[in-house]
Every structure is written in C-alpha cells, then in structure tokens.
C-alpha cells in the first residue's frame, strides 16, 4: 500500500469518526440517511437552531415600562375568583412593584367560583375589587403607596377610584373601560393622569 493510500485511509477514518458523533434530529431517524449534509429535515433544523441561537439583535424590542406592568396586571387577573370579570391591579412607584391585587372574596370566605355570586343590582357584591385589594395588601405590609401608579386591567369603578385617590395614587393606567365616566371628570379636576393602555393578547405579548 502506497503512502498516499495510507493518507487517504486515515483521512476517511477521521471523517467517519466525526460523522459518527453527529446524531440526526430527524423524527423518522430509522429511514434517515444519517448524514447531516443530505437529510432535508436536519438541514432545516440546523438552520432554524442557528438563527435561534444567534438572533438579529437589531430586531429585539424591549417592552416599554407601561406595557411591562400592564402585562403583569393581566397575569395577576388570572388569580381572580369571580368569573363575572377577572381583574388584576399592580401598584408601582419608581419602576418597582409595591403591591398587587385581584378581585376575590373576603379573606376566609368561599369564592364565587365555589358557591356562586351574591348579586345586587346586577353586580356581584361578594368580592373586593382588585384595586382595593392592592391598597389593602400594601397597608397590611406597611408599604407607602403615595405618588404611585396603578395598572389595572379594567378602569376603576367609582368606589375604587375614590379609594385610589385618597390613598395617594397619582396615575391610573387601565386596559379596558369598565363602566363609570365620572372618573374621567374627577381625574381632570385632580390633575391625575388617566391613561388607556389596550390589553394585549398572549400572542401579541410573545412577539
């Protein structure tokens, strides 16, 4: 055997050893050629993974702070126990979360989801609203919320709005309008910001 033949044989062994370490991700691996260069699925998979691992940084957009906290309020709302309306509230100051709240029954009492609603004038009165629960949670923990912003998935009802104002909340961001127009008139008189931040679907949040 010539020297050149030995060299070719050695190189072939190295290539074979290198290929043997590669595991094809093809879901039909039994019928796959086992070669990365010829398996159509493997080629597509490898390309997709390389793009995922090395994203174009210029395309990445960080969520604005208001959207960030409203998204959190939406998650908080998933804890609500009154299925007539799921509402979440987050109290924030200096970009720090102070307290959260969602609409639910009195502490220690059964939930609407367990025993039904306590209806008066077409409203369930068994629950404490999200905004008030956020205020109470802060009070229980000795947290000052003066000058804070509330992010709430639905605009405050009249009673919740009054509580927020007397608690010192200076800015209200809501996801959808609920029912009381008076809050807009009084907010203007008090020079309190009242901002509509439309809620985003889970798909929009993921983009």
Question: In the annotation, is 131 catalytic?
Answer: yes
- From the candidates 51, 114, 131, 188, give the one annotated as an active-site residue: 131
pLDDT of residue 7: 47
Q: Two tokens at 81? A: 């126990």
Reported as a pLDDT band with limits 50, 70 and 90, residue 79 is confident
Task: Report helix, strand or coil for 201.
Answer: coil
Other Cβ atoms within 10 Å of 15 Cβ, number: 10
pLDDT of residue 203: 42
pLDDT tens digits, residue range 100-137?
999 887 777 666 666 555 555 666 566 889 999 999 99
Do 173 and 197 contact (CB within 8 A), yes or no? yes
Task: Report helix, strand or coil for 82.
Answer: coil
Higher pLDDT, residue 49 or 66? 66
Residue 86 has pLDDT above 90, yes or no: no
Nearest to 160 by CA among 183, 126, 186: 183
Reported as a pLDDT band with limits 50, 70 and 90, residue 4 is very low
pLDDT tens digits, residue range 157-206?
999 999 999 999 999 999 999 888 999 999 999 999 999 999 887 545 54
Residue 145 has pLDDT above 70, yes or no: yes
In angstroms, the CA 122 to CA 199 distance is 25
Share of the chain above pLDDT 90, in %: 47
In angstroms, the CA 187 to CA 193 distance is 7
Task: Report helix, strand or coil for 153.
Answer: strand
């Amino acid at each position: 055997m010539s020297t050149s033949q030995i060299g070719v044989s050695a190189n072939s062994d190295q290539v074979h050893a290198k290929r043997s370490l590669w595991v094809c991700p093809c879901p039909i691996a039994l019928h796959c050629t086992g070669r990365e260069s010829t398996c159509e699925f493997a080629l597509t998979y490898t390309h997709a993974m390389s793009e995922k691992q090395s994203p174009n940084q210029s395309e990445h957009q960080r969520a604005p702070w208001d959207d960030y906290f409203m998204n959190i309020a939406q998650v908080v709302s998933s804890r609500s126990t009154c299925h007539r309306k799921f509402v979440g509230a987050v109290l924030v100051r200096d970009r720090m979360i102070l307290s959260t709240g969602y609409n639910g029954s009195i502490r220690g009492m059964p939930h609407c989801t367990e025993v039904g609603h306590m209806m008066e004038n077409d409203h369930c009165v068994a629950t404490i609203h999200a905004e008030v629960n956020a205020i109470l949670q802060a009070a229980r923990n000795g947290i000052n919320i003066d000058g804070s912003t509330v992010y709430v998935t639905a605009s405050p009802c009249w009673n919740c709005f009054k509580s927020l104002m007397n608690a010192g909340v200076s800015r209200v961001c809501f996801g959808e309008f609920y029912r009381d127009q008076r809050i807009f008139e009084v907010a203007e008189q008090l020079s309190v910001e009242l901002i509509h931040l439309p809620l985003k679907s889970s798909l929009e949040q993921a983009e």
